Amino acid sequence: MLRAALIAGLSLAPPLAGAGEFFTLEGHGGPVKGIAAGPQGEILTASFDNSVGLWRGGEPLWLEGHAAAVNTVAFVDSNRAVSAGDDFALFLWNLETGQGQRLGSHKGKVMSLAVSPGGQTIASASWDGSIGIWDLEDPGVEARFFTGHDAGVNAVAFSEDGETLYSGSADGTLRLWRVADGTALGQLANNGFGINTLVLNETAGWIAYGGVDGATKALSLSDGSVIADLTLDRRPILGMAPGPGKRLLAVGDGEGYISLIDTETWRFTLDFRATLRGPVWALAFSPDGGNVHAGGLDDAMFSWPVEGAGERPQMVEGERSFLASGDDVSNGERQFQRKCSICHTLGPGENRRAGPSLHALFGRRAGTVPGYSYSETLEDSEIVWGPETIDALFDLGPEVYVAGTKMPMQRIVKAQDRADLVDFLREATRGE
């Protein structure tokens, strides 16, 4: 009933803001890590809250199925999309019904996706060091995996005929593959530091990449020579997206800037501070090129008009709890802000977060909050949350204490910090 109501609402909702207008898309319960723009202006957002949002105007349709943060999302056509994330899994979504089909999984986080021309195939880049090739015409066919990089793969791009695939890796190399059989066709470049992003323009004969070291370069496809080096003193480069016709290239970095580059002259046309707090992870242009959409640490997607973007509001203008200095709070609350608040709330009721509410935590058996999708490991555990178990969770780290959990890897090393966190949670999560 809920999905039907949402779909009905979408069909009657007003369109998203037009080109040249600043707007935000709000509703996620965590940072926005991936964005895709559809041909009619519809938008997909992937978030740390384990969800994908489909925005056509009005309330979003939430696509739920991932068991961890969603890093990347792509339109296949007007009715289908694919997403992937920290749960290693890929999902194929029907955008009319909101129903998802799990295509399969890697053995590590999936960082980016590329749709082949015609939409028959999806390529996935994973931190397990492999590239996955998935058949969308027959989703039941087992995926093929290309290996050869010496570290995780961060980005992939198809050639215009779909026969060649380009990949960028944390090993610093940019490589080519024959899609038909996975044959490695060579190495176009070695950046020395990891490559995070790729944008390919085969017609114009170039490929652009962004690196961990801040490298922002365009290379000739014929010989790998550097056509343009637009590297600034900012690092790392985390987002990159082409505008219509690939005349403009948007670049987002770890210091909160978005730059627009004219790919005919290879000159900057715009450079502005999109956020004073944290990185710009995700970028996409509106279909007409009038707006650039971006995601970062804010729970909302922001969209700026290309003309005058620097005069509009920034992301994360206020303090996020996990970034706050905490000078005016207790040490226990400070630990909660830094280690827990991005995933959990303290009050009762539903919330769109990567983790369940911690309300009435003490004395509760792990994996029992209604409506939250837990890992099997946590559901099957005999853990009851209290001072000893919370202390052990952060002393050993979630990945050790509850192997197989969806909780991110983190520890609180000092015993006093753990004790202060326990004291804070005991009071802040007290049930009625």
Residue 303 has pLDDT above 80, yes or no: yes
Class of domain 331-428: mainly alpha
**Is 70 exceeded by the pLDDT of residue 320?**
no
What pLDDT was estimated at residue 432?
62
Percent of residues, the chain, with pLDDT higher than 90: 73
Q: Is the pLDDT of residue 10 over 60?
A: no
- The answer on pLDDT for 11 being more than 60 is no
**Does domain 2-311 correspond to CATH entry 2.130.10.10?**
yes
CA distance 322 to 335: 9
Cβ neighbours of 22 (radius 10 Å)? 15
Question: Which pLDDT belongs to residue 8?
Answer: 33
Give the pLDDT confidence score for residue 426 in this predicted structure. Answer: 94
Query: Which residues on neighbouring strands pair with residue 157, listed in sequence order?
Result: 166
Per DSSP, 143 falls in state P
Please compute the mean of the pLDDT values over residues 111-134 and round it to a whole number. 97
Per-residue confidence (pLDDT) for residue 52, from 0 to 100: 98
Evaluate whether 62 touches 45 at the Cβ level (below 8 Å).
no
Instruction: Assign 390 to helix, strand or coil.
Output: helix
Alpha helices in 80-195 (DSSP H): none
For range 339-363, the mean pLDDT = 84
| From 190-194, 226-230, 331-335, the region with the lowest mean pLDDT | 331-335
Which pLDDT band holds residue 326 (cuts at 50, 70, 90)?
Answer: low
Which pLDDT does position 424 carry in this prediction? 93
| Mean of all residue pLDDT scores within the chain | 90
Q: At what angle do helices 415-428 and 387-396 cross, to 10 degrees?
A: 140
Specify the amino acid at residue 30.
Answer: G
For the chain, the domains span 2-311, 331-428
List % helix, strand, coil for the chain (3-state, nearest 5): 15, 40, 50
Quickly state the pLDDT bin for 57 (edges 50, 70, 90). confident
415-428 and 331-339 helices, crossing angle to 10°: 90
pLDDT score recorded for residue 218: 98
Mean pLDDT over 188-213 rounds to 97
How many Å separate Cα 211 from the centre of its chain? 17
Average pLDDT over residues 66-84: 95
Partner residues linked to 168 by β-bridges: 155, 174
206-211 vs 216-220, strand pairing mode: antiparallel
pLDDT tens digit string along 272-296?
999 988 899 999 999 999 999 999 9
Centroid of chain to Cα 161: 27
Q: Residue 70: what pLDDT?
A: 96
The mean pLDDT value for 217-237 works out to 97
Q: How confident is the model at residue 378 (pLDDT cuts 50, 70, 90)?
A: confident
Q: pLDDT digit string (tens) for 328-338?
A: 789 999 889 88
Contact between residue 115 and residue 102 where contact means Cβ atoms under 8 Å apart = no
Mean pLDDT of the 341-358 span: 82
DSSP secondary structure, 255-320, as one string: TSEEEEEETTTTEEEEEEE-BSSS-EEEEEE-TTSSEEEEEESSSSEEEEESTTGGGSPPBT-S--
pLDDT, position 431 = 73
User: 6 pLDDT exceeds 60?
Assistant: no
What local confidence, expressed as pLDDT, does residue 5 receive? 32
pLDDT tier at 9, thresholds 50, 70, 90: very low
Q: Does position 147 have pLDDT exceeding 90, yes or no?
A: yes
Q: Is the pLDDT of residue 13 over 70?
A: no
Q: Which residue did the predictor score with more confidence, 248 or 312? A: 248
- Residue 76 pLDDT > 70: yes
- Report the helix count and the strand count for the chain, using DSSP H and E: 6, 28
Q: Peptide bond before 236: cis, by omega within 30 degrees of 0?
A: yes
Chain Cα centroid distance, residue 348:
28
Least confident of 7-11, 219-223, 368-372, 386-390: 7-11
